[in-house]
């Protein structure tokens, strides 16, 4: 199989990444609905819908804004509409988090709502990353040129770090770890916080393997967002460190 993988069906070239992206949303939501049905949710269904709406709006705005900031030079080379098509899951996650918190303040909901979303989010990201891997260099999820034994030709004739493949492996272990944490008597919302900290930590490290062209203080936009996420959860981090001691 060649990468980028662009199958032809009935004479039409199929955008496999787009299909898997939609599939990630659909299956992720179905997984969430299954977990909700088989768990005791302390948040009323009406409030849960507002929370999902807040998450969706926040994720949409966050993914676009961070996507543009990751490639700010796109505005000089492309139209505004085309540049705004840039998006990233990192901005979507953090924007969704802020959207949820704003929605909860508006409706007066005080219970933590993230744990029920955690595994479906990881599952959805996994499916989406398969699409990124199959898309190769047509999507900015590839790495720098390398002699590492896992290096691959992702479509441009250069042996590169297959970052999407690295992330797929990481997501498998993260999913198993978080699923085990859900069985423990952790406080509500802590499993979601663990997901955000571990995933953003992984993305911070793997950014060093990407051929980024825009930096602030030597860090990429995604890395700055990762640090912002850690600062957002600083109380939880200090609590975890205290409990570890």
**pLDDT above 80 (res 179):** yes
Is residue 124 assigned to a domain?
yes
> pTM surpassing 0.75?
yes
Whether the pLDDT of residue 229 is over 90: the answer is: yes
For 140-147, which contacts have Cβ atoms below 8 Å and span 24 or more sequence positions?
A: 140/70, 140/71, 140/210, 141/167, 142/210, 142/211, 143/206, 143/209, 143/210, 143/211, 144/209, 144/210, 144/211, 146/209
In a domain, 219, yes or no: yes
Cα–Cα separations (whole angstroms), residue 197 to 97, 174, 225: 13, 11, 12
Quick one: what percent of the chain has pLDDT higher than 90?
Answer: 48
Q: Is residue 163 situated within a structural domain?
A: yes
Please give the tally of structural domains in the chain. 1
Is 240 inside any structural domain? yes
Q: Which positions ≥6 away from 100 have C-beta within 8 Å?
A: 51, 54, 55, 58, 113, 114
CA distance 122 to 58: 18
Mean pLDDT of all residues in 118-132: 94
Q: Which domain holds residue 28?
A: 8-42+111-244
In-domain check, residue 31: yes
The string over 2-31, giving b where at least 16 C-beta atoms fall within 10 Å of a residue's C-beta and e elsewhere, is ebbebeeeeeeeeebbeebbeebeebbeeb
Domain assignment present for residue 136? The answer is: yes
Give me the mean pLDDT over the 10-38 stretch. 87
Mean pLDDT of the residues in the chain: 87
- Distance CA(94)–CA(29), nearest Å, equals 18
Asked if the model's pLDDT at residue 82 lies above 80, the reply is no
Residue 91 lies in a domain: no
| pLDDT tens string 27-61 | 999 999 898 888 777 777 778 888 889 999 999 99
φ/ψ region of 15 (left if φ > 0, alpha if ψ in -120 to 50, else beta) reads beta
Is residue 153 in some structural domain? yes
């Amino acid at each position: 199989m060649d990468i980028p993988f662009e199958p032809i069906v009935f004479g039409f070239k199929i955008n496999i990444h787009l299909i898997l992206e939609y599939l990630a949303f659909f299956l992720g939501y179905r997984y969430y609905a299954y977990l909700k049905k088989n768990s005791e949710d302390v948040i009323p269904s009406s409030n849960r819908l507002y929370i999902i709406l807040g998450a969706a709006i926040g994720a949409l705005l966050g993914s676009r804004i961070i996507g543009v900031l990751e490639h700010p030079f796109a505005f000089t080379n492309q139209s505004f509409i085309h540049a705004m098509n840039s998006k990233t899951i990192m901005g979507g996650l953090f924007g969704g988090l802020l959207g949820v918190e704003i929605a909860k303040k508006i409706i007066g909901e005080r219970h933590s709502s993230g744990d029920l979303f955690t595994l479906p989010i990881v599952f959805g990201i996994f499916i989406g990353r398969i699409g990124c891997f199959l898309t190769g260099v047509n999507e900015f999820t590839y790495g720098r040129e390398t002699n590492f034994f896992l290096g691959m030709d992702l479509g441009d004739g250069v042996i590169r770090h297959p970052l999407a493949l690295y992330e797929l492996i990481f997501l498998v272990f993260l999913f198993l770890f978080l699923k085990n944490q859900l069985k423990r008597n952790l406080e509500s919302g802590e499993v979601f916080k663990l997901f955000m900290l571990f995933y953003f930590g992984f993305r911070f490290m793997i950014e060093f393997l990407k051929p980024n062209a825009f930096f602030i203080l030597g860090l990429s936009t995604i890395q700055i967002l990762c640090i912002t996420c850690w600062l957002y959860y600083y109380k939880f981090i200090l609590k975890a460190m205290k409990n570890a001691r």
